[in-house]
Amino acid sequence: MDKNLLFKRMLLFGVAIVLGVLISIQYKTQQKVIEQKQISNDKAAALSNLVSKTKAQVAALEKEQHELLKEVEKYRNQPGATSPEIKQNIDNIGILSGETAVDGPGIHIEIDDTKVIQFVLYDQLTEIVKTLKYAGAEVIEVNGQRIGTNSYIVNSGSNILVNGVPITRINGTHWEVEAIGNQEVLRNYIQIAIEPYMQYNEGLKISVVSQIVHLSSVQQKDLSLAKSIE
């Protein structure tokens, strides 16, 4: 037989086998995808349902808190009941622990890592918080998480947790850091110490806006093992 013809036939045979294998893989994959899609859709629906329920629960609890606060304040503010000094002390100490919601002049920092290859890393986030503290920030919040007495920023697998709450998203995160303090000083520190480094090394764009900020409170756990010795 012609050697060239034999080669061609062998090649054609090879291509036919590859084609057959590929079609069979594709068929199997498709079957699996259909099955998984059904399971995945069920899961997604259940998850989405749970998110809606939890969101509604949060809204209901916020409403309940509003009502409770109104009631409690009536007792607290009875004439001669609580000295304004004690109330002020509790509120001021709460600024330190994080239990008092606060307002004040400050800055709003935004970093969007949804459109870049390199995500914001946990040590970069720690550096931002640290720089703000060094610049004299009195109160700091990261994506709604108030930095209080026992706050921490850690890596957990591919997630960055702030106060134990996962902040990162798989396809990038819109980071929002807010701080109360001297606006000019805070702004300068971020623009000099953080912005060039992050933009140059990581291509991350940071926007810093001076504004009046409102920072929410964070509930601290009561001491249970430690005994106060005062």
Identify residues 175-214 at the interface with another protein (CB under 8 A). Answer: 180-182, 214
The interface region with another protein, picked from 110-118, 157-165, 188-196, 198-206 by CB under 8 A, is 157-165
When the beta carbons of 157 and 200 are compared against another protein, the nearer one is: 157
* C-alpha distance from residue 199 to each of 27, 124, 133, 170, 195 (Å): 46, 12, 21, 21, 6
Measured over the CA atoms of residue 82, residue 87, residue 88 and residue 89, the dihedral's sign is positive
One-letter identity of residue 10? M
The interface with another protein within residues 99-138 (CB under 8 A) comprises: 99-106, 123, 126, 130, 133-134, 138
The interface with another protein within residues 21-40 (CB under 8 A) comprises: 22-23, 25-26, 29-30, 33, 36-37, 40
Q: Is 43 in the site for another protein (CB under 8 A)?
A: yes
Both tokens of 194, joined, read 């953080």
One-letter identity of residue 74? K
Q: ∠ CA(128), CA(215), CA(83), 5° rounding?
A: 130
When the beta carbons of 93 and 192 are compared against another protein, the nearer one is: 93
The interface region with another protein, picked from 66-74, 111-119, 192-200, 201-209 by CB under 8 A, is 66-74
Measured over the CA atoms of residue 40, residue 45, residue 46 and residue 48, the dihedral's sign is positive
Give the per-residue contact string, 2-21, with another protein (x = CB under 8 A; - = no): ------x--xx--xx-xx--
Applying CB under 8 A, among 1, 78, 117, 200 the residue interacting with another protein is 78
One-letter identity of residue 45? A
Question: What is the closest distance, in whole angstroms, from the C-beta atom of residue 83 to another protein in the complex?
Answer: 7
Query: CA neighbours within 13 Å on the CB side: how many for 181?
Result: 22
The answer to whether 207 and 109 have CB atoms below 8 angstroms apart is yes
